[in-house]
Structure 1
Amino acid sequence: MSLFFRKHAGIIIALLILVAWGSLLWFLLHWQVSFLSPLTYAAVLVMMHLYTGLFITAHDAMHGVVAPGKKWLNTAIGTLTAGLFAFNYYGRLYPKHHLHHRHVATDQDPDYHGGNFFLWFLSFARQYITVLQVLLMAATFNLLQLWFPVENIILFWMLPAVLATFQLFYFGTYLPHRGEYGSDNPHKSSTQSRNHLWAFLSCYFFGYHYEHHDKPYLPWWKLYQEKDRFKGNHQ
C-alpha cells in the first residue's frame, strides 16, 4: 500500500481534494443556513480552502506532477480542477503560468505588476478573469437556483471562490514577488517563515515560494520538506 501510494500520490491527493470539495459543497447546498451560527462562517472558510486546493492541483498539473508520465491524465485532472474553480480554462492558464516562471517579476510576467496591492490585483484579474467565465458563472447561478436556496449558493459556491482568488493572489503572487531582489536571488521570490501549519492553511505551502521556483517539479505537498532542507533563509 505504501509503494502504491508513493507511485500514485499526486493522483490520490488530487482525488481527495476533488471528493472533499464536491461532497462538502453538495452537503452545504442542502444545509439550513443560520447566520447566527459560527458553523456557517467556518463552512465558508473550509470551502475557500478547498477551492484553493482545486487551483493548486491545477497548478501542479501545469508542472506535470499530478500524474507524472501520464500526460493525458495530468491534463484531464488539471482541466477539471481549473474548470471547477469558477470555470477557469486550463489551456489558457498553462502558457501564462510558464511565462511567469520564465520571466518572473519582469514586464513579460503576466502575474507581475509594480504597483500597489489593489492595482496589482486588478492587473492580475484582467489576466485571468474572462467575460466567458463571468457569463458561465451567472448562468450556473441561475440554474442552481432551481434546486437550492440562493443564500446557500452565494455562501458556499460563489463566495468561497472569490475569497480563494484573493487568497491565491495574496499568498501565491503578491507577497512572494513584491519588492526588489538582488542578483543573489535568481527567482525574484521571497518565502514565508517556516511554519508548516500556517503555510498549509494559508496557501497549501505556496508561501514557500522561493522553494517552488527553485524546484518547480516538486508537488505542493513536498514543498514543506524543501523548506526544511533550505532552512527558509531566502527573504
Structure 2
Amino acid sequence: MAQGTGPTFHTVLLTLMISLLLAGCASPKPSNLAQREASAANTPLIEAVSRGDFEKVQALAESGASLNTLTEQGTPLEAAVKAREDRIVWFLLSEGASPDLVGSAERTPLMTAAANGDRRLVRLLLSAGADVNARDAGGATPVMLAARSGHLPVVKVLLAAGSNVNVSQDGRSLLMQIVEGGDLLTAEMLVAAGADVNYRNDRGVTALDIARAENNRDLEMLLIQAGAEI
C-alpha cells in the first residue's frame, strides 16, 4: 500500500475527538451530571464505587444515578480515587463527572490522588481538565500535597502540567516547607523548576535561613548555587 495517500491514524483520531466535542456541546446536559447533595447511605453509587464493583457503577450511571452527588464521604469520583479504582475513575470522568467537585476535607480528587502519590490517577484527572492549582481549605495545592509527602514522580507530572512552583501557604513558600523537612531531592526538583530561592516570609526568613538553622549543609549549598542571597 502506498504511503501518504490517505489520512493518518492521528488525523482520524483528532477528527473523531472534535466531532465528539461538538456533539457534546450541542446536546443538553444529562440530568445525572447535575450537582446534588445526599447522604452516603442514600447513594448506592458511592457504595458500588467503594466496593470496586464496576458493573454496578456502570448500571447505576446508565439508569440515571447522579455522578456529582456530594455526601459526607465525598463524591463518587473522590471515592473511586481514594480506593484507587482506576477503571471506575476513568468511567466516571468519561461519563462527565466533574474533576474539580470539592469533596470531604474540601479537597478535589486531584488533591487526593496527589497526596496519595498516585501518578496514573493524577495524569487521568489532569487529562480530564482538573485544576492543577486548586487549593484546599488550608490553602494547600496538589503539588504541595505531593511534595510534602515526597512523591517526586507526581510532583514532576504536576509541574509539567503547569502547577505553580512558587505557591505559598501561611507565609511559607513550597520550597521553604520542603527545606524545613530536609528533603534534598524534592528541593532540587523545585529549584530546577524555577522556585524563588530568595522568597521571604513576613519575618524576612528565607529558605537559606531555614537550611542554616537546621544545619543542613547539602540544602545550604544547593540554595547558594541556585542564587540564594547570602
TM-score range, shorter chain: under 0.3
Instruction: Find the structure with the greater CA-based Rg.
Output: 2
The structure where helix makes up a greater share of residues is 1
TM-score (norm 2): 0.21
